[in-house]
């Protein structure tokens, strides 16, 4: 059984600006005529084959690294996007000469202004670095004496950043690194009440809660901030770039983008656009100048590459790109058609999906009890066996938690890789497997009680605790980390343990997945911490008995302290 449900589609998200309606830019400018830059950024028309991809001469393999076919999307953890040929050419040309870097920044700033319609532009060492630079700029105001004191803000006037709670995220570490106090607000009333002479800036991240019409939309915040001369920084890291930048038209003072995502510029670059006076102070805070942001060093090659990326993004035929992306999905859909219980659904970009996730994807789903494999297992097998292919498990952009399947996204794919991906997906789905078993081996023992845990990280150690209750194979309880207590859940089969908890803070998430074995009063194994890699652990049951004494409850209030 096969179902292809195309969630239609205006054209690809508009790349040229217009009035803002609802949660999208409404006016579309299609770039007609011949494609000025190759659709395929890296290969420029050379189709990838299984043989070429698996070549032992691949530079990654010569360094002991197994490369990945990207059917997942644009993520820093797998290298961002692929630079367009125009970007590589500009970087190569810029590398042939020296230049005074302030003069380079001035020339680049003006070029970015000319291309985007913004007042000025700065190339930063990634979008997060751009957030840090802008924060330093609004705190120091271009005064070098204030700048070099950062992060010691004692005596400085502007030391607070107001941010809606829904905009807190793991990337705002870059803002906090300046030493500012983050003032979290949950409503426009709270935001207005939070404004005071110490307010340096309001920070807002892209998403449904910041779009036009939302209670704390960018427009509503600007209406409060602008009369008070408070700058608003809009974080649009994973969005496409519109001309002129849509969030500047909506009133933001500065907007920050990732240079290495949809724009296909240098992955190590960010793009910050907006008010020239603030961006001049941001550049002053950046390398080659000394101070708290010296670590924001951008090579002259990368600056010219970023300009080339913006120019190419403005000139290429986006309709032609969308057509090629759809051809990738067509090939994969045809390959899996006819496999028992497999269904396909294509999600395409529309003006209702904002400016992120701008490439189409196909969700391939199936009955796990027919093909004897889950979507999670499928994604893991694709990722861990050669040729390695990155996909998402689950329902993709549809976000249906009940979907058993994988999502294949096109934005990071190169011509020919759709054939490699389709062949491997087909091979895994049609492989003979034993039925999925729901039976669990009986536990070898009880884990109930308290456990003292020694955790060995890469270069340090820590003391944690586990508090465990057990019901047959199933575990629940608590995990005490160095600073917090998290809920714990998991299972034991035989002597094999799998326990999981998660540290959840404002803007941050650290998962802990314990796997290992238990023998008597000792557990050993590893802790998988997601993007933070792994640690080793040893846990010993705490046998210390608590005090056995009756508790006396006074009959009234004490007569002395």
Task: Confirm whether 280 is domain-assigned.
Answer: yes
d(CA 330, CA 302): 36
Cβ–Cβ < 8 Å for 310, 263:
yes
pLDDT of residue 37: 37
Task: Confirm whether 559 is domain-assigned.
Answer: no
CATH of the domain at 374: 3.90.1150.180
Residue 401 has pLDDT above 90, yes or no: no
Same domain, 371 and 519: no
Cβ–Cβ < 8 Å for 506, 163:
no
- Select from 315, 348, 375 the last residue of a domain: 315
Same domain, 213 and 181: yes
Give the mean model confidence (pLDDT) for residues 483-505.
Answer: 96
Task: Confirm whether 550 is domain-assigned.
Answer: no
Same domain, 151 and 280: yes
Residue 42 has pLDDT above 60, yes or no: no
Same domain, 99 and 222: yes
Could you give the angle at the alpha carbon of 261 between the alpha carbons of 256 and 266, nearest 5°? 90
Give the mean model confidence (pLDDT) for residues 330-348.
Answer: 95
Q: Which residue has the tokens 């911490």?
A: 529
Task: Confirm whether 557 is domain-assigned.
Answer: no
Same domain, 240 and 329: no
pLDDT of residue 44: 53
Count of CB atoms situated within 10 Å of the CB of 29: 14
What residues have CB less than 8 Å from 365, skipping those under 6 apart?
342, 343, 344, 345, 375, 395, 403, 404, 405
Task: Confirm whether 169 is domain-assigned.
Answer: yes
pLDDT digits over 421-436, tens only? 999 999 999 999 999 9
d(CA 340, CA 337): 9
Mean pLDDT of the chain: 90
Residue 34 has pLDDT above 60, yes or no: no
CATH of the domain at 469: 2.40.128.120
Walk across the sheet containing 270-274 and list its strands: 120-124, 270-274, 254-258, 232-235, 199-205, 160-164, 181-185
d(CA 29, CA 18): 9
Same domain, 348 and 414: yes
Give the mean model confidence (pLDDT) for residues 375-399.
Answer: 94
pLDDT of residue 399: 80
Token pair recorded at residue 355: 């400016």
pLDDT of residue 344: 96
The proportion of the chain whose per-residue pLDDT surpasses 90, expressed as a percent, equals: 81
pLDDT of residue 547: 79
Give the mean model confidence (pLDDT) for residues 528-548.
Answer: 92
Rounded to 5 degrees, φ, ψ at 171 are -80, -15
Same domain, 126 and 250: yes
Domain holding 464, by residue range, is 449-541
How is 69-117 classified by DSSP, letter by letter? Answer: EE-S---GGGT--PPPHHHHHHHHHHTTS---HHHHHHHHHHHHHHHH-
Task: Confirm whether 547 is domain-assigned.
Answer: no
Residue 299 has pLDDT above 50, yes or no: yes
pLDDT digits over 435-487, tens only? 998 889 999 999 999 999 999 999 999 999 999 999 999 999 999 999 999 99
Same domain, 250 and 147: yes
pTM of the entire structure?
0.88
Task: Confirm whether 495 is domain-assigned.
Answer: yes
Same domain, 305 and 365: no
pLDDT of residue 45: 61
Same domain, 384 and 495: no
The helix (run of H) or strand (run of E) holding residue 51 is helix 50-53
Same domain, 170 and 290: yes
- Select from 430, 462, 491 the last residue of a domain: 430
Name the pLDDT band for 398 (thresholds 50, 70, 90).
Answer: confident
Token pair recorded at residue 539: 């846990």
Residue 40 has pLDDT above 80, yes or no: no
Q: Which candidate, 402, 408, 332, places its Cα nearest to that of 363?
A: 408
Residue 351 has pLDDT above 80, yes or no: no
d(CA 16, CA 31): 10
Count of CB atoms situated within 10 Å of the CB of 519: 10
Cβ–Cβ < 8 Å for 488, 468:
yes
Name the pLDDT band for 98 (thresholds 50, 70, 90).
Answer: very high
CATH of the domain at 178: 3.40.640.10
Same domain, 187 and 248: yes
pLDDT of residue 46: 83
Residue 200 has pLDDT above 90, yes or no: yes
Residue 380 has pLDDT above 70, yes or no: yes
pLDDT of residue 354: 60
User: Total domain count for the chain?
Assistant: 3
Task: Confirm whether 560 is domain-assigned.
Answer: no
């Amino acid at each position: 059984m096969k179902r292809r449900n195309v969630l239609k589609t205006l054209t690809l998200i508009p790349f040229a600006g217009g009035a803002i309606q609802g949660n999208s830019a409404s006016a579309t400018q299609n770039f007609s005529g011949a494609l000025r830059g190759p659709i395929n950024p890296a290969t420029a028309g050379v189709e990838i084959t299984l043989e070429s991809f698996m070549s032992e001469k691949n530079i990654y393999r010569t360094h002991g690294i197994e490369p990945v076919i990207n059917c997942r999307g644009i993520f820093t953890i797998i290298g961002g996007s692929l630079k367009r040929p125009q970007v590589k050419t500009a970087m190569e040309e810029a590398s042939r000469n020296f230049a005074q870097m302030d003069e380079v920044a001035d020339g680049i700033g003006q070029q970015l202004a000319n291309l985007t319609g913004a007042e000025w532009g700065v190339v930063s060492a990634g979008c997060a670095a751009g957030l840090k630079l802008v924060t330093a700029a609004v705190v120091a105001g271009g005064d070098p004496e204030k700048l070099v004191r950062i992060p010691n803000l004692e005596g400085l006037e502007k030391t607070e950043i107001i941010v809606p709670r829904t905009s807190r995220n793991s990337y705002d570490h870059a803002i906090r690194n300046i030493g500012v106090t983050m003032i979290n607000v949950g409503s426009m009333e709270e935001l207005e009440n939070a404004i005071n002479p110490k307010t340096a800036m309001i920070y807002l991240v892209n998403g449904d809660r910041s779009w036009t019409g939302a209670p704390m939309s960018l427009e509503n915040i600007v209406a409060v901030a602008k009369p008070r001369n408070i700058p608003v920084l809009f974080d649009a890291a994973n969005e496409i770039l519109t001309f002129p930048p849509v969030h500047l038209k909506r009133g933001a003072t500065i907007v920050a983008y990732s240079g290495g995502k949809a724009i296909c510029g240098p992955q190590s670059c960010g793009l910050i656009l907006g008010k020239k006076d603030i961006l001049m102070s941001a550049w002053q805070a950046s390398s080659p100048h000394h101070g708290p942001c010296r670590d924001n060093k951008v090579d002259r090659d990368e600056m010219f590459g970023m300009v080339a990326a913006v120019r190419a993004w403005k000139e290429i035929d986006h309709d032609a790109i969308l057509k090629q992306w759809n051809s990738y999905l067509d090939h994969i859909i045809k390959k899996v058609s006819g496999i028992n219980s497999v269904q396909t659904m294509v999600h395409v970009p529309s003006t209702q999906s904002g400016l992120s996730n701008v490439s189409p994807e196909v969700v391939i789903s199936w009955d796990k009890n027919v093909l004897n494999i889950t979507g999670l297992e499928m994604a893991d097998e694709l990722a861990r066996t050669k040729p390695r292919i990155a996909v998402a498990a689950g329902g993709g952009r549809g976000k249906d938690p009940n979907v058993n399947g994988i999502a294949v996204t096109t934005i990071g794919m190169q011509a020919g890789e759709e054939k490699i991906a389709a062949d491997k997906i087909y091979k895994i789905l049609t492989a003979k497997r034993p039925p999925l078993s729901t039976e669990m081996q009986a536990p070898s023992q009880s884990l109930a009680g308290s456990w003292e845990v020694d955790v060995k990280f890469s270069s340090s150690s820590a003391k944690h605790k586990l508090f465990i209750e057990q019901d047959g194979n199933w575990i629940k309880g608590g995990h005490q980390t160095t600073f917090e207590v998290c809920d714990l859940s998991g299972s034991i089969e035989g002597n094999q343990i799998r326990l999981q908890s998660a540290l959840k803070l404002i803007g941050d998430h650290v998962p802990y997945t314990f796997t290992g074995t238990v023998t008597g009063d000792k557990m050993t194994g590893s802790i998988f911490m997601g993007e933070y890699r792994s640690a080793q652990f040893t846990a010993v049951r705490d046998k210390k008995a608590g005090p056995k004494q009756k508790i006396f409850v006074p009959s009234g209030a004490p007569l002395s302290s």
